[in-house]
């Protein structure tokens, strides 16, 4: 009887311990580098620019204390979907507080001050929410000021008086990319962005029209690998920054970020790749198939245009 009672008490103790620790374990399981980004929620980063160790929370969740690993160490906050964040200086939601809606790449006066957080649902409408695969445009640098957001594969021929020639920073989500123009109807000079731009500098207060596409440029690690197509990497052994395209597509010029910088090519499905030394498919060429080439050898850092057949 005593042994049975002992096992019963032990079982109750274990169940109680699991109940106490499960929220903490759940939070730890969400720690990463954006791999568990919520559809509606926020991620908190140790370093500015959304870098360093992080944890993510869904809308409707809160933390009375972010614990030692993150307490007074958070430097940037990224907000996703229809959510907004309230951060507090002290535990149990005490002390000074600040509300964040569009993400902040550098908390500045709130850097290394956050102890408690609340992630709330924000149903204010489309202009206040980022897309899983889209772009947000801000009036001020560092993703501040008024903003509007669009999904992938949308465009606007004229931003209208409120935003025309007033955009200062751009935030990009998922696999989207955006091409901006300094004239309406996609005219004049243009530039394509595939990653966040906290300060547009020479494009500051110049954007009049834009086109957003789903985008096939990505970071290393094969985040977007086509069923039939190819991925192109800046480093050998399929490492470094990369972009991918489907079979049947081509690039007359891979642009500055990758021009004369590709070192390995990975081929998927039944695709075949032809790479060229010059733009518009000119100069020396090489055909790649059968899984790809981990080191381009004599074609390393020479590719300017490509065809995926």
pLDDT tens-digit series, residues 289-307: 877 888 999 999 999 999 9
Parts of the chain with a pLDDT under 70? 1-36, 82, 102, 122-133, 152-153, 174-175, 214-227
Task: Say if 94 falls within a structural domain.
Answer: yes
* Residue 24 forms part of a structural domain: no
Kind plus residue range of the DSSP H or E element containing 180: strand 177-183
Domain assignment present for residue 68? The answer is yes
CA 301/CA 309 separation, integer angstroms:
22
Could you tell me the two tokens for 178? 């955006």
Q: Are residues 153 and 102 in the same domain?
A: no
What b/e readout covers 69-97, taking b as 16+ CB neighbours within 10 angstroms?
ebbebbbbbbbbbbbbbebbbeeebeeeb
- Of 182, 213, 244, the position where a domain reaches its end is 213
Domain end position, chosen among 213, 239, 257: 213
Residue 14 lies in a domain: no
Distance CA 274, CA 149 (A): 37
Please give the tally of structural domains in the chain.
3
pLDDT, tens only, 168-212: 999 887 667 888 999 988 888 888 887 788 899 999 999 999 988
Regarding whether 230 and 206 lie in a shared domain, the answer is no
Q: In what helix (H) or strand (E) does residue 43 lie, and over which residues does it extend?
A: strand 41-47
- Residue 175's domain is classified under what CATH number? 2.60.20.10
Q: What is the pLDDT of residue 220?
A: 35
Instruction: Kindly state whether residues 64 and 92 are assigned to the same domain.
Output: yes
pLDDT digits (tens, 9 = 90+) for 73-84: 999 998 887 678
Q: What is the DSSP string of 106-152?
A: --GGGTT---EEEEEE--S-GGG-B-TTEEEEEEETTTEEEEEEEET
Asked whether residue 94 falls in the same domain as residue 42, the answer is yes
In terms of C-beta density within 10 A (0-12 exposed, 13-18 middle, 19 or more buried), how is residue 201 classed?
exposed
- 295 and 238 housed in the same domain: yes
Q: Are 112 and 62 within one domain?
A: yes
Three-state SS for 225? coil
- Full residue range of the structural domain in which residue 223 is found: 218-308
Write down which residue in 151, 180, 213 finishes a domain.
213
Contact 41, 54 (CB under 8 A): no
């Amino acid at each position: 009887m005593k042994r049975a009672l002992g096992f019963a008490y032990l079982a109750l103790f274990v169940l109680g311990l699991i109940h106490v620790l499960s929220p903490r374990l759940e939070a730890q399981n969400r720690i990463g580098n954006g791999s568990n980004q919520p559809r509606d929620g926020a991620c908190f980063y140790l370093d500015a620019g959304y870098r360093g160790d992080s944890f993510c929370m869904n809308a409707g969740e809160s933390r009375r204390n972010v614990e030692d690993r993150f307490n007074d160490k958070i430097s940037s906050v990224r907000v996703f979907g229809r959510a907004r964040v309230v951060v507090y200086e002290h535990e149990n939601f005490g002390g000074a507080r600040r509300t964040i809606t569009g993400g902040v790449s550098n908390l500045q006066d709130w850097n290394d001050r956050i102890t408690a957080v609340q992630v709330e649902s924000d149903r204010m409408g489309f202009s206040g929410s980022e897309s899983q695969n889209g772009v947000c445009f801000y009036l001020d640098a560092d993703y501040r000021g008024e903003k509007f957001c669009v999904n992938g594969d949308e465009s606007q021929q004229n931003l209208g008086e409120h935003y025309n020639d007033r955009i200062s920073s751009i935030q990009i989500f998922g696999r989207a990319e955006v091409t901006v123009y300094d004239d309406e109807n996609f005219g004049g000079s243009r530039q394509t962005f595939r990653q966040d731009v906290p300060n547009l500098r020479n494009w500051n207060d110049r954007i009049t029209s834009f086109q957003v596409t789903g985008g096939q440029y990505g970071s290393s690690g094969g985040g977007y690998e086509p069923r039939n197509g190819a991925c192109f990497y800046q480093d050998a052994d399929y490492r470094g920054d990369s972009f991918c395209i489907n079979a049947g597509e081509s690039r007359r010029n891979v642009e500055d970020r990758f021009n004369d910088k590709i070192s390995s090519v990975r081929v998927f499905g039944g695709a075949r790749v032809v790479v060229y030394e010059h733009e518009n498919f000119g100069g020396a060429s090489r055909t790649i198939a059968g899984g790809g080439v981990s080191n381009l050898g004599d074609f390393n850092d020479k590719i300017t245009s490509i065809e995926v057949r």
